[in-house]
Structure formats: C-alpha cells, structure tokens
A = this chain, B = another copy of it.
Amino acid sequence: MWYYEKKLQYPVRVRECNPTLAKYLIEQYGGADGELSAALRYLNQRYSIPDKVVGLLNDIGTEEFAHLEMIATMIYKLTKDATPEQLKEAGLGDHYVAHDHALFYHDAAGNPWTATYIQGKGDPIADIYEDIAAEEKARATYQWIINMSDDPELNDSLKFLREREIVHSQRFREAAQMLIDEKDKKRFF
C-alpha cells in the first residue's frame, strides 16, 4: 500500500498562464505514452514477473505516479487563471464545456485513456521489452513537448522528467539482459 506525502518529487514552476502549452502537456497525463500508462503498466506486471524484477517495477511504478502528479500540477498552474475565452483560443474550448478547469485523463487530441495502450503478457522478456519501449516513447513525447514550449521554468521540470525516462529505460535494459542471461543459463545446464 502507499502513503501520501504532500510534496512533489521535483519542484514545478511555470512562468505564466499558458493554456496552449497545457493542451499539449496533457499528452503526458492521459495520453498513450504518458505517466498514467507508465505507472499502471509497471504496477500491473508485478504479479507475474520473476521475483528479482518485482522491486524494480514497484519502484518505477510508484515514481511514475509522482510524475503524474507533477504533470497534473503543471497543467493546473498553466490553466487555473485562464478565462473560458482564453481556453477557447488555446484549443481547449472542448475540454472546458466538458470539464471546466478540471483535469481529465485524455491525450492532447481529447481521446480518453484506455488500457489498450499498455500490455502485460506474463512472459518476462516480452514484458520488459514493452517497458523499454514505453520509456523510449515517453522520452520522445517529452522532447516533442519541450520543442513546443518556450517556458524555461516549465522546461526545467520537463527535462528532469525526460531524464528520468532515460534512466528507467537503462534500468529496464539491464533487467532484460539479466533475464536473457538467466534463460540462456537454464538452457545450457
């Protein structure tokens, strides 16, 4: 089970109200390769992965919820002072009439999150490659969002998150190699 502490993993600051940027950032909240996908994917795989990898999935899965909270905080800060008219100009008029200033788990185009974005196969090597791919895709998404952003304070947090994805990808690669080595060992003896 989890305990909540009222702090963010890394500070989140935004320069100014910027709903256009919020619109793109929501891709990492409820999009295919966003933080919700990551957290739910890893925590779900814990039950069928070899014991050696459970801790890794647990740690990264829990951290991804902290990332999700950072993204939520960013979106909130970028939009909380926006008028309906400003949301409309930012392409968020459709979000506004459905959700007002509330967040929602959809991607930048408005597609609601679906579990079909993720997978759990029960095959350890397939699952870990799913996870490496997930981290690489999340890294790419952060890059595309940073390319769209001219808010240096927000970018500082986004670069932290992008860096974390690279670290996670590396750790999943090590886990994949360990699983492959073990499988080869079993074949040999």
Interface, chain A (partner B; CB < 8 A): 1-5, 7-9, 20, 23-24, 27, 30-33, 36, 40, 44-48, 58-59, 62, 65-66, 69, 72-73, 75-76, 84, 88, 91, 93-123, 125-127, 129-130, 132-133, 136-137, 139-141, 143-145, 147-148
Task: Enumerate chain B residues within 8 angstroms of A126, measured Cβ to Cβ.
Answer: 133, 136-137, 139-140
Considering the chains assembled together, what is the distance between the CA atoms of A136 and B95 in angstroms?
18
Task: Return the chain B residue nearest A172 by Cβ.
Answer: B129
| Pairwise interchain contact A144-B32, C-beta atoms closer than 8 A | no
Cβ–Cβ < 8 Å partners of A45 in chain B: 102
Q: Are A48 and B94 in contact, with the CB atoms below 8 A?
A: no
B123 x A143 contact (CB < 8 A): yes
The contact of A119 among B7, B33, B36, by CB within 8 Å, is B33
Asked whether B1 lies within 8 Å of A93 as measured between CB atoms, the reply is no
In the docked arrangement, what's the CA distance between A5 and B2, Å? 6
Which residues of chain B have C-beta atoms less than 8 A from A23's C-beta?
93-94
Say whether B144 contacts A136, CB under 8 Å.
Answer: no
Determine the chain B residues whose CB is within 8 A of the CB of A116 once the complex forms: 32, 111-112, 114, 116-117
Are B109 and A65 touching (Cβ within 8 A)?
Answer: no
Q: Are B144 and A84 in contact (CB under 8 A)?
A: yes
Within the complex, the shortest CB–CB distance from A86 to chain B, in Å, comes to: 12
Bound Cα distance from A93 to B47, whole angstroms:
19
